[in-house]
Amino acid sequence: MSPEAAAAAVQEEVKNRVEQTKRQVDAKMMQGANELRNAALTVLANPSPSAPGSPPGVRSGNLRRNWNMYSSGGGGNGIFGIQSGMHYSGYPEHGTSKMAARPYAEKIKETAMPEILALFSELGG
């Protein structure tokens, strides 16, 4: 094999692996969103009533159950996440004039991060 042919073969192999990795990233983004949703189910399982500063307790279970997963972008670049389907989800997170905050968003991210890192560490293999 000539040096030119070898260089072309290496270039083609690199191109194929880059495309394969981009497809893997795209597939794992929704799996990452699912990990966030699973973390939300775990974090929002506090008994009611909850103490100020801790995640909100379960009353009806609507806040805990109603999370929509999303991912957008492609070609190895994009974002993924979850969004609450409940209109009042910001009230416990930030508090109101009548209720102290019961933040949960950061706790959801902290809970999901090890699984998400493990998920994306599998790429390129």
Q: Which domain holds residue 24?
A: 3-121
- In this predicted structure, the answer to whether residue 55 has a pLDDT above a threshold of 80 is yes
- In this predicted structure, the answer to whether residue 104 has a pLDDT above a threshold of 80 is yes
* 73 vs 53, more confident: 53
- In this predicted structure, the answer to whether residue 27 has a pLDDT above a threshold of 90 is no
Using an 8 Å Cβ cutoff, are 70 and 83 in contact?
A: yes
pLDDT in tens, 38-50: 999 999 998 988 9
Q: What is the mean pLDDT of residues 98-105?
A: 96
Phi-psi region of 95 (alpha: psi -120 to 50; beta: other; left: phi over 0): left
Instruction: Give CA–CA dist 121/125, Å, rounded.
Output: 9
3-state SS assignment for residue 32: helix
Q: What total of structural domains would you count in the chain?
A: 1
Instruction: Give CA–CA dist 82/32, Å, rounded.
Output: 10
Please tell me the predicted confidence (pLDDT) of residue 66: 96
Using an 8 Å Cβ cutoff, are 69 and 30 in contact?
A: yes
